[in-house]
Each structure stands twice: as structure tokens, then as C-alpha cells.
Chains A and B, each alone.
Chain A
Amino acid sequence: MPENLLSWITLPWTLRPDTLLGATLLLILAALLGEVVWRGLRWPRLMGYCIVGTVLALSGGGLHPIGPPTALRLAIDVALSLLLFDAGSRLNLRWLRSNSLLLATSLAESVLSAVAVYFVARMFNAPMVVSLALAIVGMSVSPGVVLRVVSECHAAGQVSERVMALSTLNTLYALLAGRLLHGWLQVDSADEVWGEMARALFSFCGSFLLGAALAIAVAVIARRLDLRNENSTMLLLGFVLLALVIAKTLQLSTLLVPLVAGIWLRNGSARPWVWPRHFGTAGGVLVLVLFVAVGSAWSPAIVMEGGKLAAAVLLARFAAKTLVVVSLARPSGVSLRQALALSVSLLPLSATAWVMMLDLAAVPSPWVRELMPAFLSALAWMALLGPLAVLYGLRYAREIDTGEMGRLK
């Protein structure tokens, strides 16, 4: 978008988020606020970024209705790839095999929350397609928010482990279901069904193969270089970017590829892989941009329109997830307290769902106009509540480390 880039450079004095000066100031503000909430309230820095996004949206300077410009969309895709790759790389499939009730929890909470969301949306007279899209959104929990809160707070324990595993799994299911819905929406007549199915299959297989290729490439470099060092991290970042570009070119899922790559890497060999959180400083800036952007994805007007439906849908989702998690808690090896903490931690809704819905919305279809108010309102409700829910869930489960507080400067 040459005009777009031009406006970034020629209008630095206009204080809008889509100018270079505006964007830079936002970046500084988010970083500052992140530090303030960390020092003052012991909230993860991520909260600072989300607050800046929310204020931006409230003031009408958010990304709705224009959507993210191309340059920003690229930053979002890269940041999200990093987070999903990281989330995938923490999913231990052996754990699911040895604790089959955890796998059952995952399947049941995903299915039940999708069903609950679907029926609530239908009760609000939402069209079927819109209800289906919301059901898919309701299934998933943002692995990015979960991962960031867990790692920023150095949380460790069953709730941390399980919220990471469950959010990664339900995001995986949601991505697969979302692709199917995407295909189904393209079908105009019965003749096209087979063609669409083939395309969906190509997308799945392609994403899995590309993900596997990325994982193998990372494993090969990691064997020779230590991933904990800054330069190797840059190399890792480069590989993730490359996979992203290839996925875009082949029209594969930019969300599925990094997630599959992470899972593949973690489970392909027994050797542990450790790299710095969000790939060092470069990744950190991207993650900041991502959360400011998601936080500002809505507008007050749209919440007036879809806020009620969104609230109902989120409540149904919370009830469904809680019901499953709590009823399977004891046999799967956690206490009631931990199960409650886990249920609360399963609230976040964020960038993954957003990008998924943006991709869906790219399909020219009249119902998109009906989906977006409810969906963006849900994002708005969860912008601050989501990360806080994880934080307080983990605190309630006593999984947050306080050791760092005693550290001298």
C-alpha cells in the first residue's frame, strides 16, 4: 500500500495511531504503562499494552471499522506466529496419553462451549452462520495471553500447565473448525462441495507439512547452536518468518503452521528446547504491538450494537468450560480449588480469534456485518478481563512466584 506508507512518513505531526509519530508514541506509552502496572500492582506488563489499546478504542481511535493496515497486519501475524509457536512447543502429547481424563477434559470443554455458545447466539436470533462462527470463537482460549501471563509471572503448577495445554488444544480445534466453516461459506452450489473439500484438505495437509518442515529446520539448527543465545534466537525468528511468508503465498493458515511447528518440535524428539521468552527483544516489540492492536480492535459504537449478545455468549462459554473442568477435576488429578482457578483462567479471548475472524470476514458475505459487532464486543469485554482472569486464577491457585520481589536492584 504505497499511499498508506506515504501517509506514515508525510504526516508525522498528526497524532493518529496510523502515523509514524502516533505509532511511536503509542509504543512508548504501552511500554511505560506496562512497567507501571508491573511495579505498582504486580500485574503482567501485558496489561499495560492492553490498557493502551482499550483507551485507544474508547477514544474512537481504534482499528474498527478500518481494520489493521497492511504493515500492522504483518506485525500482528509475525507476533502471533511467535506466540503460537511457543504455545505449541509446550504441549506434551505424552501427557495426554498418560492422563486420558485431561484429553477428555479438553475435548469436552471445547465441544460443550461451542454448543452452548451456538444455542445462546441462536436464542438471540443470530443467523446460523454467525452463531457457528461465534461457537468456533467460543471454543478457543487465547494461548498468547495465557502464555504471556504465565511466563511473565513465573507461574508454575498444575493450573499453569493445564491452562497452557487446554488453550493450545482448543485453539487447534478451533482453527480446524474455522477452516471448514471458511470452506463451507465459499460453496454456492452442490457441485462446488468437492472442490472446496479438496481445498480444505490441501490447506490442512499443507499447513501440517509446512509446520513439520519448520520444526525440523529449528531442531537442526538447535542441535548445533544454543537457542538461549541472542543470535540463534534471531535465526529462529527468521525461520518462523520464512514459514509465515510461505504460508501466505500458498494460502495456508498462518495460525496453524506455527502452532503445528511448535507441537511437532516439542514431541518430535525427547530433547528439551529452551529459547528466550517471545524470542528476545525483537519478538517483545512485536508482541507489544499485537496486544495494543487487539486491545483497540473495537469501538464504543460497536459494543452498543453487539455488547449484549457478546456478554451472553461469553457467559455461556464460561459456564460450559467451568462445568467440564470442575466435574473432571478430581479424577484428572487436580483439587477443586485448582479446577476453579483453571476455569477462570480459561476466559481470555484475543488475537488468535481476531485473526481467525478477520480471515473469515474476508469471504465476501452479507452475514459478516452481523458477526463483527458481537465478535468485536466479545474482544472488548475480554481485552482487560482476559489477562486479569488468568492472573487472578493463578494467584488463587497459589502458582505465582514471589521470589523475584526480594531481588535487589
Chain B
Amino acid sequence: MSLEPFARSAPFTLGVELELQIVNSHDYDLTPGAEDLLRVIAKRRTAADVKPEITSSMIETSTGVCENHGQVIAQLREVRDALVESAERLNLRLCGGGTHPFQDWSRRRIFDTQRFRKVSELYGYLSKQFTVFGQHVHIGCPNPDDALWLLHALSRYVPHVIALSASSPYVQGYDTGFQSARLNSVFAFPLAGRAPFMLSWDDFSIYFDKMSRTGVVKSMKDFYWDIRPKPEFGTIEVRVMDTPLTIERAAATAAYLQCVARSLLTEKPFQPHEDDYLAYTYNRFQACRFGLDGEVVDPLTAEHHTLRDVIRRTLRDIEGHAIDLRADDGLNLIRESLLDEDGGADASWLRATQAQQQYLPELVRRQCVRFEGGTLD
């Protein structure tokens, strides 16, 4: 199968996908409720879509094409409320977070569709280990060459959004030491990592055809890259984020990416280069392990800075675009969290809460309350 043509989309439009955890309301372990939830929510009409994911204790929601942060928030709120209400009728609860803190991966069940069964047969336990929850952001690109240019230019910002969204410190009942341990599950897949460095869509099509001829991939879906083009939508898709604990945080991260993308493509402050990737995996590791306190390296100048500082500088650089795109509310949320005493990311909140409660089921319950938009006692 050859690569499909790159669809047209309005530049810098946004789409946000969130993978959510379905937990029971008794001990707050993951529970296979996707099918029931889909059946109940099918009666509701929302601007955002709701779909199944690989294991039956996950559910995915995706907004339609949004122009700005305000629309993203509105659509996410609407679908969140519909989902929460449907879940309540089934004695289920929903929450964000990149991993479930104490689930046993072997107990997960594959959601029964042909594609998921195939993936599960190929990847074995990896597919069950893949019960992790991410946020994906689509950014509309004016044309396919710009899409690839943006894809590689954005690679420097991958650590930023990993640190900003990190919400998976706990895995299988243990503290991993990471702010985002979720990405470690993604790296295990053979086609994970960075996209090959190509700036023209023609070159990329040739690459895809070669890969496709080997039989290793059949569609773009088989690449698990950190950022990948989505020709069907005319977008690039940033896939490194954990699902944050609140939809406000999810929308803010999307707004940050939107403003960065606009500043990159309109100002072209630098040319992407293969050498950008020299320190890519190191920087990404720093972001996963230490979050906002991680130290990233500029591969060209060899300068070291904390992500907190780099993001602060970026926020200043994109201020004009934030005003044009009406993204201020979102970026302010990020600005405030950078000043936060206890670290600023959701992962830090999770650790602080667990330190206080000493009880993972209660931690998950509190995650649910935060996702639902409720207040904690």
C-alpha cells in the first residue's frame, strides 16, 4: 500500500486526543468497562468523539478540528461531562494520568476488534503492557513539506511537553523514580522513537514505499514515532505526552504546542538538521526522568539548561502568537505551574498526594475527582 495523499487542513488548527483510564469504584483498579461505556455514551451527541483503545479498561476521546484553546476546552469539557455521567450510571469512574499506579498488566483484556487482536498477536505482552495513557495533539499544516519541516523543528520541544504533561511516576505499585514512566513502555516497540530525517514529502513517500515493501508496515498507524505525519488529516501528531490529570492541563499543553508550531513555521528561527537528534534521546530521557528539573543539552552550542528555564524562555518567545491565537489562558496555566513550589507537573502532585495518603487506591480516587472537575476535601 502506498502512502495516501496529504489532505488539506487549515494551518495551526488543533485536535486533541486523550486516552483515559476506566477504574471501578470499589478498589479503583482498572476495569474492563470500555464496551459498556461506549454503548451508554452512544446515545449522547458531543462534538468530540469517543473510541475504544487496545485494552478494555481504556477509552479514547478526540476533539474535532479546533481553532483555538477556547474551543479545545469547550469540547473536552462537554465530552468529559458526558463520559463522567455515563460512567456513573455504570458504577465506573474515569481519570487521567499516564499510567495506572498499581494495575497488574497481565489482568488486562484486549478490546475485541480485528485490529487490536492482530496487534496483540504480534506484540504479545507488550500490547498488554501498553495499557498506558497518552495525550496526542494534531496540528494542521498548510502543506506536506511544511508538515515535515515542522515535525523536525518541533523535535527540540519534545522534552518540554513531556515534562509539562508528566503524570506517570508509579507503575505496577512501585515508584519508578521517573516523572513520566509511560514513555518507557512505548520505547519497547520496534518502530518507536524519532521519525527519519526527511524534509520533502516526495522523499518521505519513497521511504514509506520501501518500508511498506518490506512488509514491516502497512499504514502510518504502524509507526509509533514521537511525532508522526497524519496525511489523512493533513496534520502532524505529537504523541509524547502523558494524559494529564485535568482537561485544563491537556488543553494548555495543546495550546503551547500550537503557539510553538506557529512561531516556528512563520518565523523559521532555525533550520532543522539531522544533528538536532544528537542529543534527542538524552534530552527526552532527562524530561522523562526529572520532568521540569531535567537538564537538556543544545546539541549545537553544547549549553545545558533546565527544562523549567527553557520553557520559561519559550513562553516569552511565543507571547505574540499566544495573543493572536487567543491561547493566553492556557499558557498562563503553564506559567503558574512553573512557579509551583512542589514541582509543577502532575507527577509531583501524585507523589505529594501519595506521600500524604500512603494508599494507592485513594490516590486513584483523588485522580478521578480531579478529572471530573470536582473538589477534594
What's the nearest-Cβ distance from chain A to residue B209, in Å? 39
For A403, list chain B residues within 8 Å (CB).
Answer: 104, 106-109
Measured between alpha carbons, how far is A352 from B361 in the docked complex, in Å? 31
- Contact between chains at A95 and B25 (CB < 8 Å): yes
Measured between alpha carbons, how far is A399 from B33 in the docked complex, in Å? 10
What's the nearest-Cβ distance from chain A to residue B101, in Å? 13
- Contact between chains at A272 and B90 (CB < 8 Å): no
For A11, list chain B residues within 8 Å (CB).
Answer: none
- Contact between chains at B362 and A272 (CB < 8 Å): yes
- Contact between chains at A333 and B40 (CB < 8 Å): yes
Q: Does A248 contact B (CB under 8 A)?
A: no
Minimum CB distance partner of A275 in chain B: B27
- Contact between chains at A274 and B106 (CB < 8 Å): no
Name the contact of A99 in the complex, choosing from B31, B88, B109, B365 (C-beta under 8 A): B88
What's the nearest-Cβ distance from chain A to residue B86, in Å? 8
Q: Does B44 contact A (CB under 8 A)?
A: no
For B4, list chain A residues within 8 Å (CB).
Answer: none
Minimum CB distance partner of B23 in chain A: A272
Tell me how many residues of B have a C-beta within 8 Å of chain A.
27
Q: Does A369 contact B (CB under 8 A)?
A: no
- Contact between chains at B365 and A270 (CB < 8 Å): yes
- Contact between chains at B106 and A406 (CB < 8 Å): yes
Q: Produce 1/0 per residue, A149-190, CB < 8 A to B.
A: 000001011100100010000000000000000000000000
Measured between alpha carbons, how far is A94 from B365 in the docked complex, in Å? 15
What's the nearest-Cβ distance from chain B to residue A104, in Å? 13
Q: Does A334 contact B (CB under 8 A)?
A: yes
Minimum CB distance partner of A330 in chain B: B39
> Given A270-B365, A272-B27, A272-B362, do A335 and B91 touch, yes or no (CB 8 Å)?
no
Q: Produce 1/0 per residue, B96-110, CB < 8 A to A.
A: 000000001011110
- Contact between chains at B361 and A274 (CB < 8 Å): yes
Contact count A vs B, C-beta below 8 Å: 68
- Contact between chains at B90 and A333 (CB < 8 Å): yes
Interface residues of B in 327-377 (CB under 8 A from A): 358-359, 361-362, 365, 377
> Given A272-B27, A401-B109, do A333 and B89 touch, yes or no (CB 8 Å)?
yes
- Contact between chains at A154 and B107 (CB < 8 Å): yes
For B89, list chain A residues within 8 Å (CB).
Answer: 98-99, 332-333
What's the nearest-Cβ distance from chain B to residue A63, in Å? 34
- Contact between chains at B40 and A92 (CB < 8 Å): no
- Contact between chains at A156 and B24 (CB < 8 Å): yes
For B32, list chain A residues within 8 Å (CB).
Answer: 156-157, 399
Measured between alpha carbons, how far is A92 from B28 in the docked complex, in Å? 13
For B24, list chain A residues within 8 Å (CB).
Answer: 156, 161
Q: Does B26 contact A (CB under 8 A)?
A: yes
- Contact between chains at A333 and B361 (CB < 8 Å): no
Q: Produce 1/0 per residue, B10-39, CB < 8 A to A.
A: 000000000000001111100111001001
Q: Does A409 contact B (CB under 8 A)?
A: no
Q: Does A90 contact B (CB under 8 A)?
A: yes
11 residue pairs from A and B, CB less than 8 Å apart: A90-B26, A157-B31, A226-B359, A272-B25, A272-B26, A272-B27, A332-B89, A335-B39, A403-B106, A403-B108, A403-B109
Given contacts A154-B107, A271-B365, A403-B109, 5 further A-B contacts (CB under 8 A): A92-B25, A99-B91, A161-B24, A271-B359, A333-B39
